[in-house]
Amino acid sequence: MVSMIYILYICMFVPLLLSIPLVGRSSRNVTIFMLLGISSALFISEVNGLLLTFFKDDIVFVTTTITPITEEIIKALPVLVYAFLFSDNREKLMTISFSMGIGFALFENTYILIQNIDYISFGWALCRGFATALMHGLCTAAVGYGMSFVRKKRKMFYCGTFSLLMMSITYHGIYNMLVQNTTYKYLGFVLPLVTYVPLVIGVVRGRMKLDKTVTEAKAVSTAKAVSTDKDKK
Amino acid sequence: MDLYLIANIFTLVCALIGFIWGGILFLHPRKALYAQMITLALGCIAFGRLFNVIRLLTGGSITERFQLGFFGMVGSLMFFISSNYGAIDSLIDDGTKKFKKYRAISIIAPCVAIILYLVLFIAAGEPKLWKILGGILTAFIVFSSYFHLKHIVFPDVEFGIVKFLRPFNAVALLYDIAILVECSAMGRENNKVMIVSTFITGVFTALLMPMVVRGVRKWYQ
């Protein structure tokens, strides 16, 4: 089973890698960050294995306290590099960071699926899809969203980045703790959706507002151009 | 129900209300960056407390080993530093000798934090883990409290920005001290001090957002 993770990785990585030169520019970043997400999931699986041994197989402590730290740091690093070197555009950052998180979750889900193939059900798939994958995407997206604020001023970059990481680490820890508990696991499954819905509403409303402003600005400029033409005539 | 759990739920509710309120008011483009940072600080506090609450509800302990709830405290302090140092400090302090006196006075707050750490953690003989955690917390409180006190005592002659935020900075300074006391009580597993300090932290947390809203509103008047 140890080598299975690498086989799975190759199966997912290679087609996506080959698609990079063919896809459009806007999709390229998404694909690249999904690839990075998949690669970081592979890397973290090895790290988590070592950590579990180090903490004497205390799964509850490791999954609720240690793995959120390692996973969030690894997922956030490429986003931080992108924000630092290429762009601090909020939409771009949120897109790539969400892709990173989803890539990570895709690989993690697939690996858990092949490990527990006999116990898998539709319920499992729905929980992994709507809860775990969404949680990974949201945690990384939070770092990406915050980066657009904190890079406005270099003084705020370092503190802001670390504090956002801490926020997403804590959120990840809360989720892991909830889903492992028999009484509160359903709260855990709902938590990412409860966070996701207001976020989507906010983003959609923001886009609609922006579109409205652009349309109004265009209408004003067209009206001005028409009146200038009339004056000239 | 355990009183410490209730105290944590109280602080969680206070932080969550502040976070949602701040989110509605400030987490949009072209809004005051300072207030956005404070909103995120409240988010950090809320998540940290939520972690503690769930840990306690699921029968776990938050004093035996390191827990992620601690990141809520540290994260909030980092956002306070970001907001005061990153967003506002350069607007009021040009670094000239004229304001040297105020900078010197501001050092009192970090000194108090360090003394508190020495008394509460080192002299009191806290366990090693809590000495380290207390040290980390103190390091961030040193920076955070310096700017809080600085923005309380600074004259703010040119822009009139900081004077409206004095009540907020005073509350945030008290919040810094309260979490340090709570952290030391957690290390010693002193239940009474833990409960009292958590309730006090909750009260200060509840006051943070109203103070920021009031201050920022006055900027535009």
Which chain B positions have a beta carbon within 8 Å of A177's beta carbon? 51, 54-55, 58, 60
Q: How far is B188 from chain A (nearest CA, A)?
A: 21
pTM across the whole model = 0.88
Give the chain B residue whose CA is nearest to the CA of A188: B54
Q: For residue B168, name the pLDDT band (cuts at 50, 70, 90).
A: very high
Q: Which one is predicted more confidently, A114 or A149?
A: A114
Q: For residue B221, name the pLDDT band (cuts at 50, 70, 90).
A: low
In total, chain A counts a number of residues equal to 233
pLDDT at residue A149 greater than cutoff 70: no
pLDDT at A126: 87
The torsion of the CA quartet B118, B122, B126, B127, rounded to 10 degrees, works out to 130
Cβ atoms of residues B118 and B126 within 8 Å: no
Q: By the CB < 8 Å criterion, does A54 face chain B?
A: no
Q: How far is A112 from chain B (nearest CA, A)?
A: 25
pLDDT digits (tens, 9 = 90+) for B38-59: 999 999 999 999 999 999 998 8
Q: How far is CA B14 from the centre of its chain?
A: 13
Quote helix, strand, coil % in chain B, to nearest 5: 80, 0, 20
Enumerate residues 6+ apart whose C-beta is below 8 A from B65: A61, A65, B129
Q: How far is B130 from chain A (nearest CA, A)?
A: 16
Q: Between chains, do A177 and B79 touch, taking CB under 8 Å as contact?
A: no
Nearest CB to A170; choose among B71, B81, B87: B71
Mutate to test the interface with A, among B16, B19, B45, B68 (most CBs of A within 10 A): B68
Q: By the CB < 8 Å criterion, does A183 face chain B?
A: yes
Q: For residue B159, name the pLDDT band (cuts at 50, 70, 90).
A: low
C-alpha torsion sign, points B57, B60, B64, B67 = negative
ipTM confidence score: 0.89
Domain that holds residue B145: 3-219
Q: Which one is predicted more confidently, A25 or A233?
A: A25
Strands (E), B97-151: none
pLDDT at B1: 60
Please give the structure tokens belonging to residue B30. 């072209």
Report how many domains make up chain B: 1
Q: Between chains, do A174 and B54 touch, taking CB under 8 Å as contact?
A: yes
Q: How far is CA A57 from the centre of its chain?
A: 28
pLDDT over 70 percentage in chain A: 96
Q: By the CB < 8 Å criterion, does B54 face chain A?
A: yes
Q: Closest Cα to residue B69, out of B17, B11, B28?
A: B11
Q: For residue A2, name the pLDDT band (cuts at 50, 70, 90).
A: low
pLDDT digits (tens, 9 = 90+) for A179-224: 888 888 888 899 999 888 988 888 788 788 878 888 888 888 888 8
**Distance between CA B81 and CA B74 in Å, rounded?**
11
Q: How far is A9 from chain B (nearest CA, A)?
A: 31
Q: For residue B174, name the pLDDT band (cuts at 50, 70, 90).
A: very high
Q: How far is B143 from chain A (nearest CA, A)?
A: 11
Q: By the CB < 8 Å criterion, does B30 face chain A?
A: no
Q: For residue A104, name the pLDDT band (cuts at 50, 70, 90).
A: very high
> What is the average pLDDT across B159-177?
88
pLDDT at B42: 94
pLDDT digits (tens, 9 = 90+) for A120-137: 888 888 888 888 989 999
Please give the structure tokens belonging to residue A8. 């799975």
